[in-house]
Chain A
Amino acid sequence: MEILINLFLTFLRVGALGFGGGFAAIPLIQSEVVTTYGWITSQEFANIMAVASMTPGPIAINSATYVGFKIYGVIGGLIATFGVVLVSFILIGIIAGIMTKFSKNKYVNSVLEVLRPVIIALILVAAINTGQTAFFDYREVIIFVVALGLLLKTKLHPIALITSFGLLGAFIY
């Protein structure tokens, strides 16, 4: 029981402090589950991170589920996952409520106007950061160019694109 409570509190903290997405949360998770509690060895942690970034879904959630599951089975997985999303879920609900209420407010609108180009820059930087681990030789460049071309010229669904290139990858590599 104590383990479950600690697990919940640990991932509550990770969820509450992890600004800027899953990659930002990784050092936080590591210091708690490896250093503070010793639930998981560094090697196991590295394996968990590799799996978390290679399975569908947000990395913070995936690693919470995996760590929780390793420590206390399905219940551990559920508790850790619940902990990691709780704070943002509540905050988001409150902010969304405030936004709806003040959507006509001139200050809110002014802030949103400034935020739009900022967010586009953040998305672009996310593309660049992802790109740093994506390109190994000319084949990845070709895949990138073809995928971008398809997106610009056709109405192909992103899921269709991911699935077909994933299958292609199984054959060409």
Chain B
Amino acid sequence: MSNISLYFPDVKDGTRKLTELFLVFLEIGAFTLGGGFAMIPLIQKELVEKKHWLDEDEFLDEIAIAQSVPGAIAVNTAAITGHKVKGWAGSLVATLGVMIPSFTIIVLVALFLNNFATLDITQAVFRAIRPVVVALITYSAYKCWNTINMSKFNIAIEIITLISLLVFNAPPAIVIMLAIIVGVVRKVKIHGNTN
């Protein structure tokens, strides 16, 4: 009996966390307008600031992984956040949560509103929402920037990345691969110097 009572609160806690995870990503899925990146500020607010399931560094690491794996950024981010919080079950629950609103809405639109995208009201609402989404993503970048060291190295990496993305149109996957190589080489070099 005591075994059960020891065991039970744990199960309840696990179930509660899965439910919370599902609901958070259901909400995020319903309000991710304008592509996967629009999800970043929502995740930051809910999971870092409100639930404290991730700290800012872990959050950035997850976005890095979500970006370097093929597939929709929103789904990747949900899957990896879920995994971090509660393993494979968390991953599944978060992914389902983020997909259910879009699935439902798409089916409804396909059934009843084939001209959804060209309706005056949709156009008007989206015209106002897009700059808000730009503001949200900009703010996210600003907040992330505040959490990392203002070292010369970081600033240099930031500038080099911006130039390769904006001027040379480098694909993000390639930029990330190069950053991984730089990370490994840098460690090998520092290690060599200290010996």
Residues of A within 8 A of B (CB): 15-25, 47, 50-62, 65-66, 69-70, 74, 77-78, 81, 84-85, 87-89, 91-93, 95-97, 99-100, 106-107, 110-128, 130-131, 133-136, 140-141, 143-144, 147-148, 151-152, 157-159, 161-163, 165-170, 172-173
Contacts and interface: CB of A to CB of B under 8 A. Distances in A.
Nearest to A50: B117
B106 A144 contact: no
A16 B70 contact: yes
Given A19-B172, A69-B106, A110 B137 contact: no
Nearest to B180: A111
Interface of B: 27, 29-42, 45, 57, 60-61, 63-67, 69-76, 79-80, 83-84, 88, 91-92, 95, 98-99, 101-103, 105-107, 109-110, 114, 116-118, 121-141, 144-145, 148, 154-155, 157-158, 161-162, 165-166, 171-173, 175-176, 179-180, 182-184, 186-187, 191
Contacts of A161: 132, 135-136
A148 B64 CA distance: 24
Interface centre among A20, A53, A152, A173 (most CB of B within 10 A): A20
Given A92-B66, A158-B42, 14 more contacts: A50-B117, A54-B122, A61-B75, A69-B106, A88-B76, A92-B79, A93-B88, A99-B61, A114-B186, A115-B183, A134-B131, A167-B125, A168-B128, A169-B126
Contacts, number: 342
A133 B38 CA distance: 14
Contacts of A114: 157, 179-180, 182-183, 186
B91 A15 contact: no
Contacts of A170: 121, 124-125, 128
Nearest to A66: B106
5 A-B pairs closest in CB distance? A57-B102, A169-B128, A88-B71, A111-B183, A50-B117
Contacts of A110: 183-184, 186-187
A85 B71 contact: yes
Nearest to A124: B141
A99 B69 CA distance: 14
Contacts of B64: 112, 115-116, 118-119
Interface centre among B121, B127, B157 (most CB of A within 10 A): B127
A70 B111 CA distance: 9
6 contacts: A85-B95, A89-B75, A110-B186, A140-B128, A147-B131, A169-B128
B32 A92 contact: no
B107 A65 contact: yes
A118 B36 contact: no
A105 to B, nearest CB: 10
Contacts of A168: 128
B176 A118 contact: yes
A27 B39 CA distance: 23
A120 B69 contact: no
B166 A166 contact: no
Contact of A144 (B67, B98, B134, B141): B134
Given A57-B32, A92-B91, A116-B64, A123 B110 contact: no
Contacts of B172: 19-20, 122
Contacts of A51: 106, 109-110, 116-117
